[in-house]
Amino acid sequence: MTSYGYLVSGLLGGAVVIEEIFTFKGIGWWTTEAFLRGDRGVVMGSTLAFGLILVFTSLLLDLLYAFLDPRIRYE
């Protein structure tokens, strides 16, 4: 299950490439396009957004751990 954390990270990064190839206008495409345009606000904002998504996913995974494995308890 730990590997899912890395998987999510990889998928989010992959979104950038996939959206570029298929011109699917999601956050990845938006980030790339802003990068090429030199739009500082969008680059910073989307980096933060990606970070937040990843952090919350990890948090969710950790909580799921505690739920699935009774030996783990948070003090």
Partner 1 sequence: MATVTATKRRWDDVRLSATVFLGNKTAVAGLVIFLLFIGDAVIVQIAPGLLGVDNPDSVIPPQFTQTNPECVGAPPEAPSWSHPFGTTQYGLSGIGCLDLLQLTMKAIRIDVAISFFVVLTGAAIGTLFGVVSAYLGRWFDELLMRVTDVFFSIPFLILALAVGYVVGRTLFNMALALIIVWWPLYARYARSLTLSTKESTFIEAARAAGSGRIKIMVFHIFPNVLPPILVQISLDVGTIITILATLAFIGFLNVLVPELGVLANIGLGLAPLGYWWTVIVPGLVITAFALAVNLMGDGLRDVIDPRRRS
Where does this chain bind partner 1 (CB under 8 A)? 9-10, 12-14, 16-17, 20-21, 31-32, 35-36, 38, 40, 43-44, 46-47, 50-51, 54-55, 58
Of 55 and 64, CB closest to partner 1: 55
Q: How far is the CB of 9 from partner 1 (least distance, A)?
A: 5
CB closer to partner 1 out of 14 and 66: 14
Alpha-carbon distance of 49 to 43, in angstroms, equals 10
Distances (CA, A) of 17 to 26, 61, 69, 74: 11, 25, 36, 38
CB distance 8 to 57 below 8 Å: yes
